[in-house]
Structure formats: structure tokens, C-alpha cells
Structure 1
Amino acid sequence: MTYRLGIDVGGTNTDAVILDEQLHVVTSTKVHTTTDIETGIYTSMKAVLNQTKIDPAEVTAAMLGTTQCTNAIVERKQLANVGVIRLGYPASLSIVPYTAWPADMISVLSGKYKIVHGGFEYNGEPITPLDLEELAGVLDDWQGQVESIAIVGIFSAIRPEQEEKVAEIIRQKYGTDFPISMSAAIGSIGLIERENATILNAALNKVMQRTANGFQNALANEGLVNAQAYFCQNDGTLMSVDYAKKYPILTIGSGPTNSIRGAAYLAQVQDTIVLDIGGTTSDVGVLSKGFPRESAVAVRVGGIRTNFRMPDINSIGVGGGSIVRQDKAGRITVGPDSVGYQIEDKALVFGGDTITATDIAVRLGYAEVGDVTLVQHLSEAFARQAGEKIAEMLAEAIDQMKTSRDDVQLVLVGGGAIIAPSTLKGVRKIIKNEQGPVANAIGATIAQIGSDFEKIYSYEQVDRAQALTDAKAQASTRAVTAGADTASLNLVEVDETPLAYAPGQTTKVRVKVVGELAQRGKVVTATSKQ
């Protein structure tokens, strides 16, 4: 018998589950997220192993969904000194790298950049050729001053070879292990947003190195010597540790997607809306053909506008630990501040002195948590008003994610799901599962390896079928690199977007490929029923 271990780190709780070969939940646990995060991971891991008494050597795969990279950007901590090389002189001098970035972030990353000769037109014609002597001078100047380099070429989505040549030169100069991020593999069309995403990816190198090493060391210390480690991506799939070290930015936003995938697995549905209520926030996402719907607009990460793939999530400041207040005029507010992981110290039902959304749920009879007698002094009218406010906020968040005015089916998960009423405006059916509180960890554990590829093709120069075949091959190669089993690869999405401003039937093609984990022993699929 072999097992999978999945851990997901949230703002309030860190959840862990163990699944067997048929992907049935063997056990699960929920512990408070700690300030240093790692302690919460170790605690949850030990808890599920102790509960099952299984041989740690029988765990063959371990998955981690973590907020480490997100926190590093938001807190401006543990980031690498980045040098930015933009291939686009003289065409892109009017807007330089780091334009519109927060000043404190520029300072943390060093703010070093150089716009050198290179780049391409939209039709693939070079703007100017690379100047290798110019590039060598930049690298000489930066020697010992940068810890990572971001390479960004104009229209590298069409032709990435200049970026690849610059990367080759950097490795010759700085060593084969020097961290390099190439924009053609990270962002979409749009120079500045793609550049921003590439810079952030480069900045996260040290964070991911430490996180990956810590995770692998923890597995080894607990005797999980046969467990292959994976990180969760923000599209609901997994990637190997080595792949995560190259593309740490892909972990940003993985928490909500884990919940969406876990909810889909528990409810056995492919298309639905998912509401994940945690201790601090509620996240609403859309499940489309078994995977989270991706955002179609540029997303800000830590105040920085980017265009790399991100899940389409609507987050509001309502959770189980949200603080409930009533002002002098009688108006009731819920959140956005929360007691977070201190809920068992501060909520009324646990003997604290702060009214939380959980206290309201207990007072209204939605759930039995803590000591019910400790909230009996709250008037029924007050509790009812607060409950209506919570329901109103949740319904509005769901409504914003709809694609039609019809009532929708909703899968409700998360440790804070007890604060939701049994009915919500605009929702025709609410699906729950007893494992819903740890849906995020389940989503991490049952996920497949995935990768996508995006490129601009001219259908007048390249036959459409040939272009799609090429895109699928490129995505498949990335998926295998990320840890997928070659024989199990499956094309799950093809998106073609004609570019009206470009001649020659120019089309942006994006494909997504997923596959099962390529691990020792048999390949376990993620389609077994709970």
C-alpha cells in the first residue's frame, strides 16, 4: 500500500491529509498557521502520520501548497537582488523597467536594469541584433552585485531565441547554477506586465530555495524517504521541486485553486462555483471543465501589475475569525479584520472577549463549536442582523462571479464554512462534504502535473494544424519537465485569440496539458471517487 501526503498553508490554518492508492481520505488535520509557517507545516505533517500509524516509507508523494512566495512579496522580505536585462534598445526607452513600481520594492530588489540592443517586431523581424560586447560589459559591471537576472525581450513570445542566447552567455559568465528568469516562459503579451512578472519570479529565487530545502528536509526527518516532493501551482496542478525553483511565481494564488480542485473532487462535479470560507477571507472561484477559471485581466501582485496566469478569484474579508462590530447608529460590520489563527484565544465561544463571525454562527444555531453558553448573552436580534450581513456579503461575492443572472449551484468548503447560512440569494443548491474543511489540502493531494504554453503564430506562414501540434508539443515538454508521466499526458485546453492589429492571420495560441505523477511504481490517477 502506498499513500500521498498533502499540506496546504492558509492565512489562518495549515491543513494536512493522507490519501491512499484509490485517493480515499485516510485522515486529515487542521492546525494553526504559525508566524514562521514552517512550524505549522511540520506540526500538521506529524499529526496525520501519528494518527494513521502508517509506515512513513509507504508515502510516495508529498504535495505542498504554500503562501511563502506571496508573503515574501507582500512583506518585501527574503527577496533576491535582481538585475533586469531588457532586449529592446532603442525602441523601448520611453518606459524603463520598474516604472510604476512601489519605491520600497525597487529598493529591496536593487533597482538595477539595462536596456540593450535586441528585441523583435510583432512579425518576428529583429529590431536590432544582439550586441554581445555590450552585454558582456553589463555583466562585468554587475559581477557580485546581483543574485538573479531577469531577461525580457520585446515580442519574445514570437521568437525567444535572443533571450535564450543571453541566458547562455550569463551562465558562461556567472556559472551554470546562476538563477535566470526568461520572460518568454513566464508572462503573456504586453512588455511591461510580462517584464514585471519576470522580475518577481527572479526575486523569489532565494525564497523558493529555502522553502523547497526545508520541505524536503522535513520529509526526510519524518522518515518519508520515498516521497517525491511537489509544489502546487496556481492553475490547480502540481510541479516538481526543481521546476518550482525555476518558476516560483507559479505558486502565487495556489491556495484558492487547491480549494476549488478539492471541492470538485469531493462533489464530483466539473463545472460549478466554489465558495471557500477560511478564517480571514472568503474566496469565490469558478470550476470550468474540472479546472479553476483563469483571470482574463492583468493582476496586481504586491502592488505590481503583471500578466502571468492567475486564477479568477473574488476574495472578500469575511471568515470564521472576522470581527463583528455594531456602531452607535446600530449598523453592523463584519471584518475585514480578523482574529485569524488566534480564534481559539479571542472568540467568545472559546472564552475570549472578541465577537467573531463564528460566535454569530453558534448563536444562530448554524454550528456547535466551543461553549454555546458563552454567546447566549448576545441578543437574537443582533445575531440575526450580523448573520444577514454575512449572508449578504457572501451572496454579493458569488453574484460577481456569475456569467448569467440564473441561480447557480455552489460547493461550500473551508474551515469557516459554518458561518454560511443554509440558503443564499442567487444560489439554487449548496453542496457540502464532511471533508470540506480540508478541501484545500485534498485539492493539493489529488492534483495532476500540469503546464501550459503560449506563442504567437502567423497562420499564413504556419499551417494552423502544425501550429497547434507545435504548441501541444512544447506544453508537453514543459509538463514532463515539471514531473508528469509522458504516457498519461492529456490536452485539456486550447485557446486561440486572433490579433486584429497584426497581419497574416496572426493568432495567439495557448494550450494546457496535464498528466499523472511520474513516480516510482504505478502511476496513480486523480479520477477515483471519494
Structure 2
Amino acid sequence: MSHTNVDNMEEIYRIGIDVGGTNTDAALLDSKLNTIHTIKVHTTRDVNEGITESIRRLLAESSVNPAQIRYAMLGTTHCTNAIVERKHLGKVGLIRIGAPATTAVPPLADWDDTLKATVCPHAYVVHGGYEYDGRTIVEMDEEEILDCFLKMKGEVEAVAICGVFSPVNTSQEKRVEELAKQVLGADMPVTLSHEIGSIGLLERENASLLNGALLNVIAGVVKGFEEALHTYGIDASLYICQNDGTLMYSEYALRYPILTIACGPTNSIRGAAHLSGLNDALVVDIGGTTTDIGVLMQGFPRQSSAAVEIGGIRTNFRMPDILSIGIGGGTIVRLDETQDQVTVGPDSVGYELLKRGLIFGGDTLTATDVAVKLNRYEWKDAQTEALDESICKRADEIITRDIEEAIDRMKTSSDPVDVILVGGGSILVADKLEGVSRIVRPDHYDAANAIGAALGEVSGETERIYSLDEMSYDEAKEDARSHAIEQAVLAGADRDTVQIVLSEDIPIAYLPGNALLVKVKAAGRL
């Protein structure tokens, strides 16, 4: 029997796992959020194998008692990949409440035909909708709606409902949901657009459809994660990472899988902030395939203000402002001898680096070979003699220049900025970069994504239009704040720790009656 220190008995741990295209990273943190141990394993074709293997090794190498692990967080690219690769998507029926006001642009107008056929066999525009201030444009015709659901019966696995200005007035969407369950059964999953997107109709409709299509995907992910934990005797609360750097309960994720899109880069940004102690900096995360550059503002990732395309579909829910370039540890370096030109990327050997890289006895010159040849990094048993130093130096100049240019594009002024370097590929970067005041490489830099997943705060958010003829400016702000706080508590935050992390309001000149758009985001600890 082992003699455990009595103080240690009370320690509660959390596991963070981040599944990337090349590697699956796992980190174990204690209750003070110190990093106890990290693991990197190759992502396998069946992603759950990589998750199970990383948990097994984490427990074996840290010798922590599984019973003391109370929280488990997963950041995953499953949903992004499903959309980009057009695989495993479910069939969704769409009801848009908006005739005759919105018939000029049909649903799915900008989707390609294969994706339309895969995801949405039934899309109908029915009478109804609201003005920007919540007044009814047209009453709904319930017979018309019931008729649409009868046509869908047996042909869809989920339903998406999207009404004009429904974030301002949610009652029509909720009534259509009741009708859907009446015809299609009480357990038919229904996505209401006002719970997902912001004001813009088409992007919100797209996000709702994709959300419905991803329900099967996320169910498989959560089930695989639960099984992996149970295999090793871990009975923990499960959280899934969202793309704004915060967490949601696994039950919440099962209803809103769309919110997991692009959480990988965000986790790295949060992890970088935690490991470096900086709250405002640029984060350069270099993986096996890409370099993702994000901006840390007050400890959270800067959000993108543009509409975001996922797999070619415009959506408008919150996404981190990330610039990705094709440079990573596995990026291929080529010499064109006829023109005496060196090129770098954008293609990568990915998870085959240890087989194909020259220093590992392979046949492909990669960015990692260049870094080792130029003594940025020591790799034991690396075979560097055969590498041509002049080619490596020229490749290094290109890599450095590309990263400097990308950093410059993400800066908001010409002043030098602090850069936090994370990710396994950060060995590629020189110690000095143009336009950078200092480079911080924190401990555990190569597992920042998994550490970011484990940190997790829980957030809630609201975006609404208020009419200032009906209430004062302060009342509108207060209403939005309390709504955002309630959303955070619903997602699993401890009410006493919830703070407002973002608040902005925009007077909308093109709408009559003193309209004000208010956006508020609140976040708190588990």
C-alpha cells in the first residue's frame, strides 16, 4: 500500500485534452492550475484511440489517483473536419419564418449542391417574422407549418427553425418548435436560431442548419470521451471547449455542437496567457501543419468581426480572430535547382514527420530539419551531416519573413509587441523577430492547447436590439448584462465568480425609434 501524504488526499485534478490534426495533447492540472504533467501522442484515424492513449499515459506517468480527477475538458476538431470533409453530417429540415418579407434570397443560396443534398433535403419559407423592434410583420399560419412538417416526416434527423429578427422576439420560433414535436415526435432534436447566431438572418440560418447536421458527430465524440475516462476509472464532470476560449457542459455541447468549431487555436491562446502570465500579447502557435496567430486582449482571444466561412459556408457566430499560414514543423522545403530557388510549403508531411523527415532517416526536407541543422533545437540521434547548410539558411529566412509578415498583419499599431510562442513547432522561430519587443517561450509551451482546454472558464453571451423609446440606455445595458450572466450560469459557471468580460453597444441609425444594439459577454469559473 502506498503512503500518500494526507494533504495530497484532498487535491483535486483536472485533465485537458486537445485533439489536433497531427497530435493529440493532454495535460494534467492541480486545483491551483499548476501543470503537473503533459503528454503528446499522434492523432489516429479513429480519433478516440488517440484520446484513450493520452489518458492512459497521463495516468501512468504522473501516478495520480484517477479518483482525484474531477473535471475533464475536451477540445476537438471533429466538427470542423466533418463540415470541411462533408462527412458524417445528418439530414436537417429547415423552416424559415419570413414570407413574404425574405423570399428574395432562398435558403441555402450560397451552399454548393453536394452539401445541400447531404444536409438539407427539405427547406421551407413560411409566413411570419418580426420587425427589428419585435413587432409582428405577418401572423404565422399554423396549418402551413404543420403541412411542411408532414412532408419532412421520416426524411430528417433534426430540424432547424430560423425567424426574421428572432433574437429580438423569440415567441414564433418557440411556437414552431412545439408544432415540430407534435408532428415529428417529442424527441426530434430542434435547433432554434436565436439560441445560436446573432442578428443577420442568412448567416444565422446557416449556423442553425450546420448545428443540426453536427448532432450525430458530437454525440459520438462525447460518448467516446466518456468511455475513455470510464476505462481508467475516472468519474469526472465533462466539459467541451467552445470557440471563444470558454467551456460548456457536455449536455450543452450535445445541443450546440456548432459552438465547438475552431476551439483549437483559442485553447492555445488561453494556455499561452496562463503559462506566460501576460494578458495582452500576440500568440504564435506553431503546430505540425500550420502557424496560427491570435491576439490576446485582457486574457481572452480577440474576436473576429467579419462573417466567418466554415467549409465555404458563411456563418456569423463568434469566432476568434485567427490568421493561419502554412508553416509548421512538418512543412516541406524544396530546392528548384534550375532556378536555384528555395520554396517552403504550404504542404506538410503532418503526422508522418518522424518517418519522412531527413534527420529521422526519411527522404523529405522539412522545416524541423532546418531548425535542428541551425542548432535551434537538439534532437538526439539526429542525422544532420547530409543537410546542406546554405539551403537551410535560405529556408530559414523565408520562414522567418513569413512569420514576421503574419505578425505584422495582426498588429493594430506599428509599435513592437510581445509575442508568446507556443506549440511543438515553435522551435522553428529565431530568437529575434522584426517588430517584436520580446519573445516569450513559457514552460510546457508545446502543450499550451491542452492546458488552455483544462483552464476553462464558462461563458454566456447576449446580442439584442433595444428600442430606447421604451426604456432608458442604462436599463437596456442592465437587461443585456443580466441575460449574459444567466447564460453563463446555465452553461455551468459558478454565479459568484461571473464577471462581464466584454460589453459594447452600437446605436443603429438606419432603424427608426432610437434603436441600440447591445452585445455583452460574461465569464466565470466552474
What is the TM-score when the length of structure 2 is the normalising length?
A: 0.96
**Is 1:345 the equivalent of 2:334?**
no
**Is 1:320 the equivalent of 2:329?**
yes
**Is 1:196 the equivalent of 2:209?**
no
Deviation at 1:123, TM superposition (A): 2.9
Paired residue for 1:238, among 247, 270, 273?
247
Paired residue for 1:12, among 3, 22, 27?
22
**Is 1:355 the equivalent of 2:376?**
no
Paired residue for 2:298, among 274, 281, 289?
289
Equivalent position amino acid for 1:110 in 2: C
Conserved 8 A contact 2:467-2:514? yes
Whole-angstrom distance in 1 between the partners of 2:254 and 2:291? 29
Residue aligning to 1:410: 419
Whole-angstrom distance in 1 between the partners of 2:187 and 2:280? 42
**Is 1:3 the equivalent of 2:44?**
no
Whole-angstrom distance in 1 between the partners of 2:206 and 2:112? 12
Paired residue for 2:430, among 400, 418, 421?
421
Residue aligning to 1:497: 506
**Is 1:213 the equivalent of 2:210?**
no
**Is 1:155 the equivalent of 2:165?**
yes
Paired residue for 1:513, among 510, 516, 522?
522
Whole-angstrom distance in 2 between the partners of 1:487 and 1:178? 36
Conserved 8 A contact 2:275-2:443? no
Equivalent position amino acid for 2:189 in 1: P
Residue aligning to 2:316: 307
Paired residue for 1:133, among 135, 143, 160?
143
What is the TM-score when the length of structure 1 is the normalising length?
A: 0.95
Conserved 8 A contact 1:461-1:504? no
**Is 1:383 the equivalent of 2:392?**
yes
Deviation at 1:124, TM superposition (A): 2.1
Deviation at 1:157, TM superposition (A): 2.0
Whole-angstrom distance in 2 between the partners of 1:475 and 1:144? 37
2:125 is paired with a residue whose SS is: strand
Residue aligning to 1:85: 95
Whole-angstrom distance in 1 between the partners of 2:133 and 2:521? 24
Residue aligning to 2:7: none
Conserved 8 A contact 2:465-2:518? yes
Conserved 8 A contact 2:18-2:24? yes
Whole-angstrom distance in 1 between the partners of 2:468 and 2:439? 46
Conserved 8 A contact 2:98-2:164? yes
Deviation at 1:112, TM superposition (A): 1.4
Conserved 8 A contact 2:84-2:311? yes
Whole-angstrom distance in 2 between the partners of 1:489 and 1:280? 36
1:218 is paired with a residue whose SS is: helix
Q: Which stretch shows the higher mean deviation, 439-448 or 171-180? A: 171-180
Can you list the C-alpha shifts for 1:445-465, whole angstroms capped at 9, x where unaligned? 111111211111112212222
Equivalent position amino acid for 1:507 in 2: L
Equivalent position amino acid for 2:179 in 1: I
Conserved 8 A contact 1:281-1:318? yes
Whole-angstrom distance in 2 between the partners of 1:419 and 1:206? 39
1:286 is paired with a residue whose SS is: strand
Residue aligning to 2:406: 397
Q: Which stretch shows the higher mean deviation, 103-112 or 405-414? A: 103-112
Conserved 8 A contact 1:350-1:370? no
1:169-184 paired onto structure 2 within 5 Å: 169-184=179-194
1:113 is paired with a residue whose SS is: strand
**Identical counterparts, % of pairs:** 49
1:445-456 paired onto structure 2 within 5 Å: 445-456=454-465
Deviation at 1:173, TM superposition (A): 2.9
Equivalent position amino acid for 1:435 in 2: H
Can you list the C-alpha shifts for 1:68-102, whole angstroms capped at 9, x where unaligned? 00011011111110111000011111111110112
Extract unaligned runs of 5+ from structure 2: 1-10
Deviation at 1:421, TM superposition (A): 0.9
Equivalent position amino acid for 1:50 in 2: A
Whole-angstrom distance in 1 between the partners of 2:186 and 2:77? 29
Residue aligning to 2:344: 334
Paired residue for 2:82, among 72, 75, 87?
72
Residue aligning to 2:63: 53
Conserved 8 A contact 2:211-2:256? yes
Deviation at 1:224, TM superposition (A): 0.5
Residue aligning to 1:522: none
Figure out how many residues of one structure are paired with residues of the other and give that number.
Answer: 515
Deviation at 1:370, TM superposition (A): 4.7
Paired residue for 2:496, among 470, 483, 487?
487
Equivalent position amino acid for 1:48 in 2: L
Conserved 8 A contact 2:133-2:466? no
**Is 1:103 the equivalent of 2:108?**
no
Equivalent position amino acid for 2:470 in 1: Q
Conserved 8 A contact 1:98-1:111? no
Equivalent position amino acid for 2:24 in 1: T
Conserved 8 A contact 1:457-1:509? yes
1:262 is paired with a residue whose SS is: helix
2:410 is paired with a residue whose SS is: coil
Equivalent position amino acid for 2:99 in 1: Y
Deviation at 1:128, TM superposition (A): 0.8
Conserved 8 A contact 1:349-1:370? no
Whole-angstrom distance in 1 between the partners of 2:197 and 2:167? 9
Residue aligning to 1:34: 44
Query: What is the CA RMSD across the aligned residues, in angstroms?
Result: 1.1
Deviation at 1:4, TM superposition (A): 0.3
Residue aligning to 2:6: none
2:134 is paired with a residue whose SS is: coil
Equivalent position amino acid for 1:393 in 2: D
Residue aligning to 2:487: 478
Residue aligning to 2:3: none
Whole-angstrom distance in 2 between the partners of 1:446 and 1:190? 32
Whole-angstrom distance in 1 between the partners of 2:228 and 2:499? 33
1:315 is paired with a residue whose SS is: strand
Residue aligning to 1:255: 264
Whole-angstrom distance in 1 between the partners of 2:408 and 2:270? 21
Extract unaligned runs of 5+ from structure 1: 518-530
Conserved 8 A contact 1:272-1:410? yes
Conserved 8 A contact 2:94-2:120? no
Whole-angstrom distance in 2 between the partners of 1:462 and 1:10? 47
Paired residue for 2:278, among 269, 285, 288?
269
Whole-angstrom distance in 2 between the partners of 1:513 and 1:178? 31
Deviation at 1:172, TM superposition (A): 3.0
Deviation at 1:164, TM superposition (A): 1.4
Deviation at 1:434, TM superposition (A): 2.3
